[in-house]
Amino acid sequence: MTISLSDLLSKEPPFLKRIAKDNKGLQDEINGYLSIPTGFRELDKMYVLQEYGINVLASRPAM
């Protein structure tokens, strides 16, 4: 599965909810990673997603 960076940076990423719904216990793990105050919330999301085999495709947002 591949997602775009713009989707990753969206306020309510629907793919994250869908993945968490399909994988029991994943939502707690995602919340655990995202609660770490790294200052790099989007990078933390990418790290969690890549652990589950989801590739993040970098793209430039439309101007």
The predicted structure's pLDDT at residue 52 = 63
Angle at which helix 26-34 crosses helix 14-22, to 10 degrees, equals 140
pTM of the model: 0.23
The predicted structure's pLDDT at residue 63 = 45
Give the span between the Cα atoms of 23 and 33, in whole angstroms.
16
Contact 34, 41 (CB under 8 A): yes
Contact 59, 5 (CB under 8 A): yes
The predicted structure's pLDDT at residue 23 = 62
pLDDT per residue as tens, the chain (63 positions): 566 666 666 555 555 555 555 566 666 666 666 555 555 555 656 666 666 666 655 555 544
